[in-house]
């Protein structure tokens, strides 16, 4: 395996499709290894673009444009970081010899909740909640009536809770609002939705699963809190029973083996006692995994960068109980300032990341605080304390 020199003929090039805060951390780790990074997204000055060698702004759902940029950049690797991508072009790229991470078929399946749920439940026989798909409002209402409430509704392509609703009462108003939200906020616009039974669970986890040259490594389970489907806090480790932990690893191994390829996979699961339900999987770093910035000697982003390049990961050292708390203000602005950082960061064993997003319209994740302490409760309390001291001026 060779790595060339950035901006030279020998350069090893990575094309990052999606340039948000997670992509930014991946870009930083890749540049540390001498990789030439091309950050792509549908809007200018995205977080990863601010640290990459080159930035490209175009609609990644436009197959023709994506094809042109792939041919122009001539990447050695393509890293999809968002769902809104013309995945057929990734298949063509892979056929031409470009390495798509983890592979084109895995990207196609995981970008679409229908594909990954059918793989998990119908082919691998993993335990999941009951689910149905609807492509029009009439069938949507009938499915909810037949399944019964409460149910969770999501577009088959979305992330960070966009387009997601929980229906507790079968009323015309509540059902119609959920349908409209899913149609308006899906990554690829209006289309099919998934309706899932809201299973009873004690907690939910993300099990970061690393497929790499040396095999498969499971990081300690990450617990997290979501509001409207969007992560706001996470901690590592999440306490689990021995049997639940064994079952979680079995699920993660089965789904990631089926997808194949190298890199970090964020496997989301619900846990009720010793019972574990598969929920979703992302073939890339996970937002709840931001906690690994402080909890390990190698974050999920560094591990992802090494794994996709085919580099060995012989060991990962755990630093101790850790937590993360998101900086998520609300308002409207195109020029954001952060203050009181000197007071906020006057705390031991913390790290702060400000993502550099240039605008806000409503609520938006603008940064994160991670903290290390003697147990996860104290770590989370510290992370929130520091987060609350940081002032966001819109």
Q: From residue 345, how far is each of 160, 174, 353 by CA, in Å? A: 27, 43, 11
Measure the CA–CA gap between 42 and 59, rounded to whole angstroms: 5
The conformation of residue 368, written as its DSSP 8-state character, comes to E
Residues with a known catalytic role: 159, 161, 268, 280, 287-288, 365
Q: Roughly what angle, to the nearest 10 degrees, separates helices 300-308 and 21-32?
A: 60
Measure the CA–CA gap between 118 and 109, rounded to whole angstroms: 9
Residue ranges of alpha helices (H) inside 7-157 are 21-32, 63-73, 87-95, 104-110, 113-117, 137-147
Burial-class residue 9 by CB neighbours within 10 Å (0-12, 13-18, 19+). Answer: exposed
Measure the CA–CA gap between 224 and 12, rounded to whole angstroms: 36
For 166, the enclosing helix (H) or strand (E) is: strand 165-167
Measure the CA–CA gap between 181 and 159, rounded to whole angstroms: 13
List b or e across 124-148, with b for residues whose CB sees 16 or more CB atoms inside 10 angstroms.
Answer: eebebbebbbbeeeeebbebbeebe
């Amino acid at each position: 395996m060779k790595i060339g020199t950035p901006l030279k003929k020998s350069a090893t090039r990575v094309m990052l499709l999606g340039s948000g805060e997670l992509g930014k951390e991946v870009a930083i780790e890749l540049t540390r290894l001498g990789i030439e990074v091309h950050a792509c997204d549908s809007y200018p000055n995205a977080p990863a673009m601010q640290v990459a060698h080159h930035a490209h702004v175009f609609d990644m759902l436009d197959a023709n444009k994506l094809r042109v940029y792939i041919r122009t950049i001539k990447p050695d690797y393509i890293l999809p970081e968002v769902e809104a991508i013309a995945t057929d072009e990734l298949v063509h790229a892979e056929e031409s010899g470009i390495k798509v991470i983890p592979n084109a078929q895995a990207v196609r399946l995981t970008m679409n909740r229908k594909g990954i749920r059918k793989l998990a439940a119908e082919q691998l026989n993993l335990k999941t909640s009951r689910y149905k798909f609807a492509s029009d409002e009439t069938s949507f209402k009938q499915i909810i009536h037949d399944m019964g409430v409460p149910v969770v509704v999501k577009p088959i392509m979305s992330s960070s809770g966009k387009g997601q609703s929980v229906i507790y009462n079968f009323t015309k108003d509540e059902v119609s609002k959920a349908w409209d939200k899913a149609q308006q906020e899906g990554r690829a616009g209006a289309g099919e939705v998934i309706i899932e039974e809201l299973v009873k669970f004690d907690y939910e986890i993300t099990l970061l699963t690393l497929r790499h040259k040396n095999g498969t490594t499971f990081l300690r389970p990450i617990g997290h809190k979501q509001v409207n489907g969007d992560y706001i806090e996470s901690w590592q480790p999440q306490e689990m029973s021995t049997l639940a932990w064994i079952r979680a690893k079995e699920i993660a191994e089965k789904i990631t083996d089926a997808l194949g390829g190298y890199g970090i996979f964020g496997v989301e699961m619900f846990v009720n006692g010793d019972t574990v339900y598969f929920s979703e999987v992302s073939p890339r770093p996970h937002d709840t995994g931001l906690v690994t910035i402080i909890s390990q000697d190698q974050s999920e982003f560094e591990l992802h960068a090494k794994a996709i390049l085919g580099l060995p990961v012989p060991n990962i050292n755990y630093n101790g109980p850790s937590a993360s708390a998101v900086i998520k203000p609300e308002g409207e602005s195109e020029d954001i300032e952060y203050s009181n950082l000197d007071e906020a960061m006057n705390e031991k064993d913390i790290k702060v990341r400000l993502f550099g997003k240039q605008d806000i319209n409503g609520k938006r994740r603008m940064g994160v605080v991670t903290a290390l302490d003697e147990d996860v409760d104290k770590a989370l309390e510290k992370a929130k304390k520091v987060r609350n001291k940081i002032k966001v001026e819109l």
